[in-house]
Amino acid sequence: MSGRPSASRRTIIRGAALTPVAGLGLAACGPDGGASAPATPTAPVDLGAESEIPKGGAKLYRDHNVVVSRDAGGALKAFSTICTHAGCAINKLQGTTLICPCHGSRFDATTGQVVQSPATEPLAALPVRADAGKVIAGPGA
């Protein structure tokens, strides 16, 4: 007989009951917050009217995980809105600051640069162009 006390039946049942709950908690802290986020475009995507992006501003396209900004001169820039910290889909734009819902990283939507950690890498730039008044973003744009 060993010197360690054996686990009671109640302890084993309690542990078994808590295991799925712990798994859900870990999934919620995963890179996608427990929900599967679509990736950024793998082909050109029509995002809509170019006129919706103000000079000096930005527009978030949640359905495509893309943000498009326009500088004072009218040039467009696009970035993936998949956070470089843990892979979460960024779903909030305040002015020209993107805010990740998972861990609070913030990015400049006009440059893709990190403005608040925990992320340390900038957002991935995407090709973007205007065509007949529409914004087209993604590879091949």
- Are 135 and 53 contacting, i.e. CB atoms less than 8 angstroms apart? yes
Place of tokens 């396209």: 61
Distances (CA, A) of 82 to 18, 59, 132: 32, 15, 28
Average pLDDT for the chain: 83
pTM of the model: 0.73
Predicted confidence at residue 39, as pLDDT, reads 78
Write the pLDDT tens digit of every residue in 32-77: 444 444 577 888 999 999 999 999 999 999 999 999 999 999 999 9
With 50 as the cut, is the pLDDT of residue 20 above it? no
